[in-house]
Amino acid sequence: MISDIAPKGLGGLTGGLFNFCANFAGILTPLVIGFIVAAFGDFFYALIYIGGAALLGVVAYLFILGDVKRIELSQ
């Protein structure tokens, strides 16, 4: 999908930025869950956090994404 919407000549940069964001979330989420479990003593609020993140993703997909088409940059 990234290569389909990336501006011509910027596929590597776009893919790298996408992977950075995904990996940052993969690093941050276990840390946040660890802090939540340490603070409250169980996983209840950690599950609330994960559910909220999933709900945010669904809302972004449904209402923010829009049409998927290649980004054109002016020269």
How many other CB atoms sit within 10 Å of the CB of residue 47?
12
Number of domains in the chain: 1
> What is the value of pTM for the model shown?
0.71
Per the domain annotation, does 35 fall within a domain? yes
Q: Which domain holds residue 54?
A: 2-64
Per the domain annotation, does 72 fall within a domain? no
Give residue 68's pLDDT: 73
Per the domain annotation, does 36 fall within a domain? yes
**Of the candidates 46, 49, 29, the residue with the CA atom closest to the CA atom of residue 38:** 46
Tens digit of pLDDT for each residue in 46-71? 999 999 999 999 999 899 877 777 77
**Of the candidates 24, 3, 4, the residue with the CA atom closest to the CA atom of residue 15:** 3
